[in-house]
Structure 1
């Protein structure tokens, strides 16, 4: 009999390794489930300029984007006047409840356990707990890969994916019989979440700091000097178009039949750009194409021309190949320094794309984009400054990703 059939997780706290099996329920056995209430006019929501101005007369309006796990955002985009909200008690929360997104990001799960009252949006299933102590475990179980697979299997094949309240009622939930085991699991994941939140905040602060420096160290529109400069630089920056400085180039086209799932040289498509490759080309083809056709030099800044338009990756000199037309770079002269160009790309407004519904960055968009340039010496100073700042940000990003992966692994081992 498998561990799943025995209703025992792969990993348990030592004192419970030989303890009794977990109990299986349907979600409806553990809570009463409701969603939006008939008769409520959602145009009654208001968007205040400041939450403080309305906090005494309104409740926060919680939508499916406002919760994730243990985190609930009460500083939301919309609020509900109290006199209107109190006419709909089913969706006005003041006790612990599980929140489940039933439209949009299906399966996003949160735990509402605050004393403050909040009004819940229509795309959210509300599970009012019969026993509040079950809430933490239910959230973590539904957030695990197994829990998310249940949501995936329920998603309707339609242009607007959604699940129903009836679907939610039947979700399988397995929880320990022992109150102490419940508490230990909840404490363990709460501690892990607190650590993740700490690193998220540190990372966000560093990103905000970088954004502030980018704003001050590049000229605002209509100006030719930045607000903040290194000592010794006073000249106006010169106006160009990127097309004045170089041309857009790309690797030679690689056809699907020339790739394989394994091989010598990674081939990055737009979907794997900046992450892990899922295709490879032969060493022979790579060496031939690298010699005959355009290929980036170390330090060149590669640009995504579709998908997440304008995303950049610095080419570090490894043996790699990139999808033509979707991944491009500017082959330029020595008037521009790559470390400066990389930061410019992070704040650029591409020509012809403002207010456009176009989902592609064409060569013309890149070449017609205006850029203000200081002398190369100042570019080097600016580029080096942001390299050092990025070197402070990167460890926080990696630590956060590591903790998130650890949490995911534990979720999958400590729940059934």
Structure 2
């Protein structure tokens, strides 16, 4: 049944949409530390919270404490024939989600209680409900633990990128000072264009995924085949600076071509190639860190477009880069590369667990 009792008692925790990790049913903070006197729907342990505003965001929670659901929540409580742990899984099922997403409103769509409450759902006997609830609880715990591991790896990677490149962390066998260079001294701008139309695969540079094939990334071709003769040729291990800014790349990403093939990129990108003075993987991780941001902010121009960072090529080439001896470059590159390999493997494992959960939700709730 649906609970409507409200409370503004600031002595009990409040839960808002912003406190819930979407689709995971977990809190992203200790809500007991929040100061909030807003009125909300009173809930008890084992109640189920379902976010009815924009239900496709999948904000739900199975709390183990007393609290207030502040905002557009339904608070659902199991009856004598329904176990609460099964109810929590039921609201995640494709059938429930389909009905809940038959919403009212366009700008601020909300699930319609009349539609959901008048929909029939198959409910097994309680012994089966309990086993289903336990199964999904194990999967949710496994998903949460794997995500926590990924988050921890991200923090380790961030710390390594900072401290290895500011030289506060060194391998014990190295003590020589790093030598200063300008980017233009250790790299060369790629000016080769696809004038003979030898290459037809257009690349794009994603902050998250690196250099990828444009057609598969956007699910369509953005470039015009007739204009590819003016595009730059990007060979294996070439670097590309994409001036488009994003939350994860506030001045635009620089990424290395690791596709093991040659393609082309728009002249809007700056393409450059490492000389023998620098180990390409070392330079790749230099640009994955933030030590070069200050130079960009100090020397960038104000662009006409707010989604792009503007800096002249000749200025970009004046960026200071400190280099250790080649063997230390290789060691730093190998360390970070191995860490990213483990991170990618853990991310793949997480996706497989999520796929198993989604498959079970489809097959067990028909």
Which residue in the other structure is 2:362 paired with?
412
Q: Report if aligned partners of 2:240, 2:255 keep a CA contact under 8 Å in 1.
A: yes
Map of 1:4-403 to 2, 5 A cutoff?
A: 31-34=1-4, 58-67=11-20, 68-73=23-28, 75-76=30-31, 79-80=34-35, 91-103=41-53, 106-114=56-64, 116-130=65-79, 133-154=82-103, 156-158=105-107, 161-163=108-110, 166=113, 169-170=116-117, 172=119, 174-219=121-166, 225-238=167-180, 240=182, 242=183, 246=187, 276-277=216-217, 278-279=219-220, 293-302=231-240, 304-306=242-244, 308=246, 309=249, 310-311=252-253, 314-319=256-261, 321=263, 324=266, 329-348=271-290, 349=293, 351-352=296-297, 358-364=306-312, 367=316, 370-377=319-326, 378-403=328-353
> Against the structure 1 CA distance between its residues 162 and 171, is the aligned structure 2 distance closer, same or farther, given a 3 Å change threshold?
farther
Give the Cα separation in 1 of the matches to 2:104 and 2:122: 24
Q: Which has the higher contact order (CA 8 A, sep 6+)?
A: 1
Structure 1: which 5+ runs fail to align? Answer: 1-30, 46-57, 220-224, 254-263
Which residue in the other structure is 1:28 paired with?
none
Give the Cα separation in 2 of the matches to 1:176 and 1:195: 26
Give the Cα separation in 1 of the matches to 2:282 and 2:12: 47
Give the Cα separation in 1 of the matches to 2:187 and 2:92: 48
Task: Number of aligned residue pairs: give it.
Answer: 340
> Against the structure 1 CA distance between its residues 60 and 243, is the aligned structure 2 distance closer, same or farther, given a 3 Å change threshold?
farther
- What is the CA distance between 1:181 and its match in structure 2? 2.3
- What is the CA distance between 1:213 and its match in structure 2? 2.0
For residue 226 of structure 1, give the secondary structure of its aligned residue in structure 2.
coil
Structure 2: which 5+ runs fail to align? Answer: 195-199
